[in-house]
């Protein structure tokens, strides 16, 4: 293992998946016949984790699939391909935004980009990459261009796409203009695999901008663009760098989305929302203005740096965000503590089109820079196929709220058998 850690996140499980792939969807094979499995600690996880996935007894869609195939359908018959914000994707997952933090903008992010390209899933490049690292460098590509090139080379013209996020400081640096006109992104652009994401906020610190910790030299350079504060004490030699959060109203969001569509007609338009109390109104505003996708980042979402009070106490949980949005008016993406199949399936059943991998992806490539994310995705795919098949469905688009049971809102029992079965004497 390297020095990268993720306190409060199932790091060891993610690393095991990065090493062993789909085998981690099952208990250890040598435990077969000697150990009994099942159950979980009472109250474990958040509300989304506590929601049960409930297969039915009667499965008409399985019968349809049986007739189509001419045999009993199996989990491998589940179709996991989908459309995510205007891009084709091999799986109902995407690579969440890694911004300018130390963990998210170095070699690990390039390794994650390369593997996301191989997998054929969309990738989001996070905020403040250009204001912090620059766009071009003498002798080597900047972190932003390195990620785009790694993804494009590994993707080989297949499914997926690259989405470049922009915050206030990015707008000042004209990041979207640079990417849209750069020769390095033209192949992606002409094949319809470039998108731009307006970042309104994030789950780990809703209402705040991006934050990093810098040494004295870095802080002196950053002070020209960002707010820099000495919050750690002079002896620490470390400084807090804060980006502006941006100011948004319904009209500002509408105008921003229209601006993106008009000025970058070949790019897909995404909007990333924090877990605010008016999340439903914000999502509707973005969709109706023409956004191809709206990302909802629950309070469980991760980041490279955030105040502890925000991580523990601020923002709506992802499950509540999805409940408030209800039936999506467009492509809805969900992120926040995604690392295994059941959580992804729950999010999809509650209306999301795909789930974002953030901390899990970084941990996976930290475990194995060459194959960790691919193996993590393989394990996710195996779990999702097993679960969707168990629900009697064979397309992830068929998942719905009927597939879930919430302990706080149990469905009343009718006590009657369907008339087609007949009455007991």
Q: In this structure, what DSSP letter does residue 358 have?
A: S
Q: What is the mean pLDDT of residues 257-267?
A: 97
DSSP 136-185: B-SSSB-HHHHHHHHHHHHHTT-S--EEEEE-HHHHHTTHHHHHHH-GGG
Maximum average pLDDT range among 96-100, 326-330, 415-419 = 326-330
CA angle at 408 for the pair 406 and 409, rounded to the nearest 5°: 70
Q: Using CA atoms, how far apart are residues 111 and 134, in angstroms rounded to an integer?
A: 20
Q: Above 70 in pLDDT, residue 144?
A: yes
Instruction: Give the DSSP H/E element, type plus range, for residue 53.
Output: strand 52-53
pLDDT in tens, 377-408: 999 999 999 999 999 999 999 999 999 998 88
Res 412 pLDDT > 70: no
The DSSP line for 406-423 is: -TTSPPPP-----TTT--
| Separation between Cα atoms, residue 84 and residue 346, nearest integer Å | 17
Q: What pLDDT is stored for residue 156 in this prediction?
A: 80
Mean of the pLDDT values across residues 169-187? 92
Give the pLDDT band (50/70/90) at residue 418.
very low
Percent of residues, the chain, with pLDDT higher than 70: 91
| Kind plus residue range of the DSSP H or E element containing 227 | strand 227-229
Q: At what angle do helices 279-289 and 318-325 cross, to 10 degrees?
A: 60
Q: What is the enclosing helix (H) or strand (E) of 322? A: helix 318-325
**What percent of the chain has pLDDT above 90?**
66
Q: Give the residue, 419 or 148, on which the prediction is more confident.
A: 148
């Amino acid at each position: 293992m390297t020095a990268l850690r993720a306190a409060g996140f199932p790091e060891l499980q993610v690393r095991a998946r990065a090493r062993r792939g789909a085998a981690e969807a099952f208990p250890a094979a040598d435990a077969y016949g000697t150990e009994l499995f099942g159950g979980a600690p009472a109250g474990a996880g958040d509300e989304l984790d506590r929601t049960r996935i409930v297969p039915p007894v009667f499965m008409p869609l399985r019968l349809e699939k049986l007739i189509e195939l001419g045999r009993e359908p199996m989990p491998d018959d589940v179709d996991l391909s989908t459309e995510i914000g205007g891009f084709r994707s091999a799986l109902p997952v995407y690579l969440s935004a890694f911004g300018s933090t130390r963990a998210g903008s170095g070699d690990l992010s390039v390794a994650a980009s390369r593997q996301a390209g191989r997998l054929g899933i969309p990738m989001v490049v996070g905020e403040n990459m250009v204001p912090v690292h620059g766009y071009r460098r003498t002798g080597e590509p900047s972190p932003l261009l390195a990620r785009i090139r790694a993804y494009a080379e590994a993707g080989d013209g297949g499914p997926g796409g690259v989405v470049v996020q922009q915050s206030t400081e990015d707008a000042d640096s004209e990041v979207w203009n640079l990417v849209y006109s750069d020769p390095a992104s033209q192949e992606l652009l002409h094949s319809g695999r470039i998108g731009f994401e307006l970042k309104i906020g994030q789950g780990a610190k809703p209402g705040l901008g991006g934050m990093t910790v810098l040494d004295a030299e870095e802080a002196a350079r950053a002070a020209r663009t960002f707010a820099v504060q000495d919050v750690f004490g002079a002896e620490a030699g470390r400084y807090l760098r804060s980006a502006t959060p941006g100011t948004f109203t319904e009209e500002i969001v509408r105008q921003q989305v229209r601006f993106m569509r008009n000025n970058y007609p070949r790019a897909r338009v995404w909007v990333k929302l924090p877990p605010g109390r008016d999340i439903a109104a914000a999502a509707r505003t973005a969709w109706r203005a023409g956004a191809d996708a709206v990302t909802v980042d629950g309070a469980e979402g991760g980041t490279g740096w955030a105040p502890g009070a925000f991580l523990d106490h601020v923002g709506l949980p992802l499950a509540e965000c999805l409940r408030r949005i209800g039936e999506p008016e467009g492509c809805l993406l969900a992120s926040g503590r995604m690392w295994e199949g059941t959580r992804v399936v729950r999010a999809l059943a509650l209306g999301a089109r795909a789930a974002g991998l953030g901390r899990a992806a970084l941990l996976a490539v930290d475990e194995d820079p060459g194959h960790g994310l691919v193996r993590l995705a393989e394990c996710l795919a195996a779990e999702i196929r097993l679960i969707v098949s168990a629900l009697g469905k064979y397309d992830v688009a068929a998942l719905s709220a009927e597939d879930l049971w919430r302990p706080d809102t149990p469905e009343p029992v009718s006590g009657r058998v369907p008339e087609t079965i007949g009455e007991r004497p």
